[in-house]
Structure 1
């Protein structure tokens, strides 16, 4: 084989997966049809699980630097507007602002997140740039300007056809976006709901912007957003999907949409970056067919509200990476690899419904607007804002793993031990009382002895940062399930 794994697509999902595989010694190549990274404006923020994933790989300082850069731009944007700053922002749901002043962070899901819990204002281009550097440092082969055109599968591997050569690998992972060629050629089912909106997001130069409201605004004809950086606009029109999503986006098109939704006589004079989107919501029924797997937008598509797509893809990559590597390295089972679908599919299904609910509340018809008024009243309470912020942040996410302790299946709390996870191995934190005859592979699990500064039981943490066991009985079973016993 030329490679253990070939990944189609060098977006954040594909790059994160490649880095996770390289940490485990896997020979991986990423094929990307574009010669350069895509500069088109996309997601503008990350959630807590994404920040934690980067933290565990030693990348949090890079995220913090990117966030500070963005905050500087945001502060400058605010100075150009009203003298009174807006209330502290806790996110939005269906373009309904959530005030940070009503956000109660005392709940258990928000505790123990550590410095990763302070990071969020990092955009997709910055995430991609960080991962490009990380991939280069790890020796990942990113083959830009190389387009996958087809592939053949067998019991032993995959032969990938590109526009210039054939490559062989044990596995192929489609991270090639919502219109994934890998997904289509492999025959994955992709059920879901059709689109009903046309959305635009862009960075522009414009005249008359001072008359636009800042942040998210609901109007009789749709939704628009202005900011949080100069020239950034977003519009949502409920006139059906665009006739052609691939035609170049012009200043005239953006100006027409912004005027229609805002009612402001704005003039777009230049377009720096622009994209169209819809609310097409579909999900592959499984994320694996034989030697072919899907991750990111190739596995699920939905509207971009709340920036869930970027985070969902990073979560897929972190969950899949160590499991696929275990299979390749000879100790992972088929059952272990198949937990990728069983764990990630429910999270993806939730995201699709979360975005569908937002579309329902954004509609301009009288019934939707009546419901929107009620939801808005709920967001003006501490309980309501905290609920929405909890869901948006991702701290609620949990996999259904054996065991009754509330930490099992959840992202591990920050124990100032993340330096021990930068190599992608598991972590067994011994708080005392471990069985003397416990059998575990020392090349796959680091053992840390001694009390932490938190009142916690002994913990077994998987390479993706998920707690697999938390005190009591069942340690050997958990080690066997997730790491296989020594032979």
Structure 2
């Protein structure tokens, strides 16, 4: 590229769109909000890139060579079901959406983590095939939310006065602690939870990475790929209750370094809380173990 002296680094909104230049030499992005390209399948040419950057930035750059280029739109689609028999969809095979907000990578990894242990359980025969149906039940709503989130970002990127006003209000909300915290928790997935039934408030949510009194953290106990039953109150009957699922389950007896109401946490291999109890109440534990880890093998 030549003629770039007047291209300022960083993101800039102009009357005709949005552009960003850098941080690597020769790298730029333009966003034009006037509809999709005529033919998305044709190769991106130097002429197309040059014309777009000139329209948006107003700088008369010259592009002499294209090393790498791509187009994207705010098209959003989602498969109605992530499973049909032996065919399972995950990541970009299950949905498409605008890349703004960087949600696609998190979403695809979340699909893989949710599906992986279930697929292994069914393939090795210790769980029934209908366990795979919970993959769609749990992950489809999360994908649906991300698609809605990316749709919501497009209006505040538009350059007309009304959209600029909405953007200003949004920026004001994000400048406050509560607004910024909510947005961060949403985009990081902390607030997402699966509807697994049950009465405990933590059921279906991601496990908090608690510091434990034995010097470890919760996350360190998932290296084997098994489910983990955290006995946080040293329950005398818990080991015997869970022994029949020992092939698929590790019991960790320790307590958190900070006081918690929790006495027991049953964690699936994907880090999802399948069942929890306060104050040593073990009602429902056997049902939860059977639901997620199959019929127990008792000696």
1:240 aligned onto 2:35: yes
* Alpha carbons of structure 1 residues 390 and 269: separation in structure 2 relative to 1, 3 Å: farther
1:401 to partner: Cα distance:
2.0
1:345 to partner: Cα distance:
0.4
Q: Match for residue 48 of structure 2?
A: 253
**Which stretches in structure 1 are left out of the alignment for 5+ residues?**
1-205
1:228 to partner: Cα distance:
4.4
* Alpha carbons of structure 1 residues 229 and 466: separation in structure 2 relative to 1, 3 Å: farther
Q: 2:10 aligns with which of 200, 207, 215?
A: 215
CA distance in 1, matches of 2:3, 2:268: 53
Residues 288-307 of structure 1, C-alpha deviations (whole Å, 9 max, x = no match): 11121111111111111011
Residues 332-362 of structure 1, C-alpha deviations (whole Å, 9 max, x = no match): 2243211100100000000110011111222
Q: Match for residue 420 of structure 1?
A: 221
Q: Match for residue 144 of structure 2?
A: 349
Q: Match for residue 469 of structure 1?
A: 275
CA distance in 2, matches of 1:249, 1:236: 15
What is the TM-score normalised by the length of structure 1? 0.54
Q: Match for residue 453 of structure 1?
A: 257
* Larger proportion of strand: 1
**Which stretches in structure 2 are left out of the alignment for 5+ residues?**
211-216
Residues 358-407 of structure 1, C-alpha deviations (whole Å, 9 max, x = no match): 11222233332232232222223333322322222222111112334343
Residues 303-343 of structure 1, C-alpha deviations (whole Å, 9 max, x = no match): 11011112111111111111111111112224321110010
Q: Secondary structure at the match of 2:206?
A: coil
Q: Match for residue 411 of structure 1?
A: 206
Q: Match for residue 42 of structure 1?
A: none
1:479 to partner: Cα distance:
0.9
1:453 to partner: Cα distance:
2.4
Q: Match for residue 90 of structure 1?
A: none
1:436 to partner: Cα distance:
5.5
Q: Secondary structure at the match of 2:66?
A: strand
Cα RMSD of the aligned pairs, angstroms, is 2.1
Q: Match for residue 285 of structure 1?
A: 80
CA distance in 2, matches of 1:351, 1:221: 27
CA distance in 2, matches of 1:211, 1:406: 55
1:300 aligned onto 2:95: yes
The structure having more radius of gyration, on CA atoms, is: 2
* Alpha carbons of structure 1 residues 230 and 447: separation in structure 2 relative to 1, 3 Å: farther
1:10-409 aligned at under 5 Å gives the runs 206-409=1-204
CA distance in 2, matches of 1:329, 1:407: 30
CA distance in 2, matches of 1:362, 1:413: 34
CA distance in 1, matches of 2:181, 2:266: 30
Q: How many residue pairs were aligned?
A: 282
CA distance in 2, matches of 1:279, 1:255: 22
CA distance in 2, matches of 1:450, 1:390: 28
1:479 aligned onto 2:282: no
CA distance in 1, matches of 2:2, 2:189: 38
